[in-house]
Amino acid sequence: MSSKKQKDQSSLINTKNSLEKKVKIKLEKLYETIKKHDFAYYENHNPTISDAEYDEIRRLILEIEKDYPSLITSNSPSLRVGAEPSEKFKKVKHSTPMLSIQNAKNKEEVIAWSDSLRNFLRIDENNIIEYVAEPKIDGLSASLIYEDGVLKVGATRGNGKIGEDITENIKTIKGIPHTIDKKRAPKFLEIRGEVYMSHDNFNLLNEIQDKQGKELFKNPRNAAAGSLKQLDPKETAKRSLEFFAYAWGSASSLPYDNHYDLINFFKDLGFPTNDNFGLFKSIDELIIFYEDILERRGSLGYDIDGIVYKINRLDWRERLQSTEHHPRWAIAHKFPAEKAVTKILDIEIQVGRTGVLTPVARLSPVNIGGALVSNSSLHNFEEIKRKDIRIGDMVWVQRAGDVIPQVIKVIKEKRKNDLTSINPPDNCPVCGSKVVRDKIKLGKKEKEEKYIRCTGEFKCSSQVIERIKHFSSKSAFDIDGLGEKQINEYYSEKLIKSPVDIFYLEKKYKDNPPPFWRYTSGSKTKIGTIKDSALKLFEAINRKREIDLDRFLFSLGIRHLGLSSADLIANYYKSIDAMLENISSNSINQSMQELLSLDGVGEKVAISIIDFFQNSDTRQLIIELIESGITVKNYNKEIKETKISDKTILITGTLKTMSRAEAKVKIELLGAKLSSSLSKKTNYLIAGDKPTVSKVDKANNFGIRVFSEEEWNDFIEE
């Protein structure tokens, strides 16, 4: 090869590697974004973006993963379902995973899904595929386990593999039978369905909340989630929850071989099922059903956000199997967002943990899809400028994905002439510190960020409070009983001024208990008698004095540092002592080189880590946390292996017993990876009918084991 060709080839490889590194950084950031929103949705029941926005992020992730399969890591949301179960309840391991469901936003995507099933199963267009369809209820998935006709366990979905035991709460729900006909029902039967709250019960609950001076629930799903996870079943019973059965998990036997007949069988056993459920023989029939339900959506009496389509035949489902995230044989055809007109009464500014200023529109309350909407994030001042939003404007607001309110458009023809434009402030509205707009590098050029940021850091009370909230959050120290309300109260009483103070709360009580920790009787306070809630909080704090290094790094609230990057950095340094020693003693350039050498750690994260560990105040925070009795465990992640885990396999030619897609599923179920090209890293080659001869020859030269299709099937059976 000539030197010019070698140079060109080398340049091409370098360009490809550089591009792949940038894609990997982008993918890790998207993973972190999804993880944050999953926590808000599944754990806090208070999503911060719309379903539509969430779905678009997931779509982007799936597109990147399709083009760069080698970049997929265990952090991928395509391998994860729901959220970790709460420690407030006992754990229940699902015998069959409770997966999520893939989405389609239009008819074309539904057709593409159907076509992929035909290709996978090798079904030509002359054969009819039967589908079942029903509304996608906006509630919480639940599992009901019956043994010998008796309800034994009720559980949440949790993370899809392990849920929470909420049996006593489930028993309070109207329509769920405590016993079923054991002569007709399988000896062991797991029914799955959706717990929800009707519009009437939601409005009644909020009337009661309002009269009692409590915070109103934002929407029926939020109310249902809070009600189902009450520690006292009597409280759940007061909330008037309801249930629709729509599927099953494990069963000792099933009397039918299709979904439609099984759901009707469950209905006969006494389970409540949705009346808007049918059997269809074409995509066109499904779309007619979709449009009919969409038209009647407002009169159903409960929230739905689309229609779920499933293949009816169970033997086809068995062949299709599932990904880590969703079954291939089902899809949710989502509805467009609902919207209404209202007025912007004011625009307030919130200051977040990292100092970012977020404008929030205060709206004249308006009912959209059964929920009262009075606030909407405007995201940033660039967004305000782009949409030309002003206080006093009449605007279109939608609950995108039926969850998050967003201002989508100003109605200019209704604007009054005296409305003034909104400009970003020069100073923080909380602490008065200077506001800056950071710059990001784009090659050799620099571009200003969309967001503006307060430079006050620990001088800004909003940033300090948000840092403390982040520190005690689920993905960090996970301190039960130390939520937003308690942190705000303790901060105002000067009991918690930094995360370190959390671990001295019990001592402060013993020295001088504040009034809100004491029981009161009439006008007198019983000194020394502590409330149960305070005792439980101290116990929860003491249980969390040991933490993994990656979660500890994340808890510190270091700017731009997400859980995935924290995991990579923890894996490199292994201990907090090594990080304190290395980053403080090394030069900035040396630390930068070390951090940037880690795939997935970008320049922003590296700079933030170095700034944090070389800053005397934040270094002191780490030291004081350790002195308070915290143990930061060294990084030591356990790696499990299977028979052919991490092996790379290539298929050449046509397979006779299954489609290539089905073969891929079986290979991945065994922990291996299907490759699209042959290299020395390939472990096995499967040669089907009419294989590419050059690939077989090349595999033999590389010493790669070559299987015929029959030999491969025998090998797998072993």
CATH of the domain at 63: 1.10.287.610
Least confident residue range of 102-116, 181-195, 478-492, 514-528: 514-528
Q: Judge whether 286 lies within some domain.
A: yes
Q: Work out the pLDDT band at 297, boundaries 50, 70, 90.
A: confident
Give 514-536 pLDDT, tens digit per residue: 665 555 544 444 444 456 677 78
List the end-to-end C-alpha distance of the chain, in Å, as a whole number: 46
Structure tokens given for 582: 């290395």
| pLDDT value for 79 | 54
Q: Judge whether 18 lies within some domain.
A: no
| pLDDT over 90, % of the chain | 38
Mean of pLDDT over the chain: 84
Helix (H) or strand (E) holding 454: strand 453-454
**Average pLDDT for 612-638:** 87
pTM (2 d.p.): 0.55
Give 334-381 pLDDT, tens digit per residue: 988 778 889 999 999 999 988 999 999 999 988 776 667 888 989 889
Supply the range of the domain harboring residue 658.
Answer: 648-717
Q: Which residues form the catalytic set?
A: 136
**Average pLDDT for 44-49:** 58
* Backbone angles phi and psi of 49, in degrees to 5: -135, 165
Least confident residue range of 50-59, 316-325, 494-503: 50-59
Same domain assignment for residues 228 and 121: yes
CATH code of 571's domain: 1.10.150.20
Q: Is the dihedral of CA 472, 478, 479, 482 positive or negative?
A: positive
Same domain assignment for residues 175 and 291: yes
Same domain assignment for residues 428 and 531: no
Same domain assignment for residues 463 and 571: no
| pLDDT value for 529 | 47
**Average pLDDT for 319-342:** 87
Give the residue from 441, 474, 507 where a domain finishes.
Answer: 474
Q: Judge whether 257 lies within some domain.
A: yes
Distances (CA, A) of 502 to 86, 347, 537, 588, 625: 21, 33, 10, 32, 10
| pLDDT value for 528 | 44
| pLDDT value for 525 | 46
Q: Judge whether 2 lies within some domain.
A: no
| pLDDT value for 403 | 60
pLDDT at 508 over 60: yes
**Average pLDDT for 34-40:** 71
Same domain assignment for residues 459 and 489: no
CATH code of 658's domain: 3.40.50.10190
Q: Judge whether 1 lies within some domain.
A: no
| pLDDT value for 516 | 57
Same domain assignment for residues 563 and 689: no
Number of compact structural domains in the chain: 5
Same domain assignment for residues 605 and 513: yes
Q: How far apart are CA 110 and CA 589, in angstroms?
A: 52
**Average pLDDT for 120-142:** 92
Q: How far apart are CA 386 and CA 394, in angstroms?
A: 16
Same domain assignment for residues 459 and 522: no
Q: Judge whether 322 lies within some domain.
A: yes
Same domain assignment for residues 425 and 468: yes
Same domain assignment for residues 222 and 135: yes
Same domain assignment for residues 558 and 572: yes
> DSSP secondary structure string, 653-693?
SB-SSS-HHHHHHHHHHTT-EE-SS--TT--EEEE-BS--H
Report angle CA 425, 426, 429 to the nearest 5 degrees: 60
**Average pLDDT for 237-249:** 93
Q: Is the dihedral of CA 160, 166, 167, 169 positive or negative?
A: negative
Q: Judge whether 124 lies within some domain.
A: yes
Give 2-18 pLDDT, tens digit per residue: 555 555 556 555 665 66
| pLDDT value for 39 | 66
* Backbone angles phi and psi of 219, in degrees to 5: -160, 165
CATH code of 286's domain: 3.30.470.30
Give 136-168 pLDDT, tens digit per residue: 998 999 999 999 999 999 999 988 888 999 999
| pLDDT over 70, % of the chain | 86
Q: How far apart are CA 152 and CA 189, in angstroms?
A: 10
pLDDT at 442 over 80: no
* Residue 689, Ramachandran bin (φ over 0: left; ψ between -120 and 50: alpha; else beta): beta
Q: Judge whether 114 lies within some domain.
A: yes
Same domain assignment for residues 506 and 576: yes
